[in-house]
Structure 1
């Protein structure tokens, strides 16, 4: 059984990841303890851990959900593209037939979620996590977990942009196709291209050039 501090940490992190708590929101120890039904001690420990990981920042005496500036966003996507490209390359080398089947099923099943950005965002995280696991490299998976934790600090999903959901699934299909073909270079290239297009979409959303569908 997980210790209470881990439970509290996971609960708060999931709330940030799902958009319940957004960048700039103030997190109050007593409110969180009541919300999640745990004592204040594990909440305090979880908040300290999240602050250490730069998920939370100080605003005077208060802790607020951190946000990413333009340079941090660019740096994050650069690292993400390289690490995920490596994961895709390794997945093409090491994927079992069962793992390929899971990835293929994810692409097909997620078509039913088009037009539902938040559901697609959750499905997208599952897909990318499965690619990470299929790399069969525990150290790479750990680093990608850190990268995707920081992705939770983005207030909106790029999948909310009109047409992005369909495009993302087409890109996922190309990634899986390359993994199925055992073509590591093609898999890495397809995944880096996928991340690059997501980054362009996010920049356009942030600049107001394109609007969300929700």
Structure 2
């Protein structure tokens, strides 16, 4: 791959990861020169990466500046509707097509992630890895692509629902049920368990947002 194309890809991936990790949060301004210095690439691939992220609606214009976009209530609701359906399909396909090794990895993830319940940021990162593993276990490249887009957009939410009191324990219990259904090769149960998991996460986030509005009033 030509160096310029490689730098462009790297710049895009690095900026996207920084947003995903919360290093840049909704409303934060992204400055081309600062990003180039931070990531050790030239300004041209950074500029092209920013344009790509703007096209994907992950960045928005604020005058002449680019800022990390944010989601309003309706956008969040629409995103969760799509995520619930796609994630449910991924679980169904994983129950049908995952290899024995992939299923064992999912079980190990649930066991290991139980140690992160008191660390919401770490648990959120582990949660993303867990869901990505289910996506890959579906063995459907087009579904994986669509879920990648959904999860990139999820990064625009300023907080994780796993930070809510007691949510980590419940989420891990839900993960356990999802993997149990995949282990049993019960496609319907896996589909339903993951859809319910996303629904509960959405309700938790709605409660978080309502609490923030109450505190601000």
What range describes the TM-score normalised by the shorter chain of this pair? over 0.9
SS for the counterpart of 1:23 is coil
Distance 1:4 1:160 in 2: 35
Shift of 1:210: 11
TM-score by length of 1: 0.96
TM-score by length of 2: 0.95
Is the 1:204–1:210 contact (alpha carbons within 8 Å) kept by the matching residues of 2? no
What is the aligned length? Answer: 211
Is the 1:100–1:180 contact (alpha carbons within 8 Å) kept by the matching residues of 2? yes
Among candidates 87, 105, 108, match of residue 105 of structure 1:
108
Unpaired runs of 5+ in structure 1?
A: none
Question: How big is each residue's C-alpha offset from its partner over 1:49-96, in whole Å with a ceiling of 9 and x where there is no partner?
Answer: 000000001011000000000000000000000000000000000011
Distance 1:210 1:127 in 2: 31
Question: How big is each residue's C-alpha offset from its partner over 1:126-160, in whole Å with a ceiling of 9 and x where there is no partner?
Answer: 00000000000000000000000000000000000
Distance 2:86 2:45 in 1: 33
Q: Residues 183 and 210 (structure 1 numbering): CA distance in 2 closer, same or farther, change over 3 Å?
A: farther
Distance 1:210 1:153 in 2: 18
Is the 1:87–1:140 contact (alpha carbons within 8 Å) kept by the matching residues of 2? yes
Is the 1:5–1:43 contact (alpha carbons within 8 Å) kept by the matching residues of 2? yes
Unpaired runs of 5+ in structure 2?
A: none
SS for the counterpart of 1:182 is coil
Runs (4+) of structure 1 exceeding 6 A deviation are none
Q: Residues 204 and 156 (structure 1 numbering): CA distance in 2 closer, same or farther, change over 3 Å?
A: same
Q: Residues 28 and 210 (structure 1 numbering): CA distance in 2 closer, same or farther, change over 3 Å?
A: closer
Q: RMSD across aligned C-alpha pairs, in angstroms?
A: 1.4
For the pair 1:90 / 2:93, whether they are aligned, the reply is yes
Map of 2:42 onto structure 1: 39
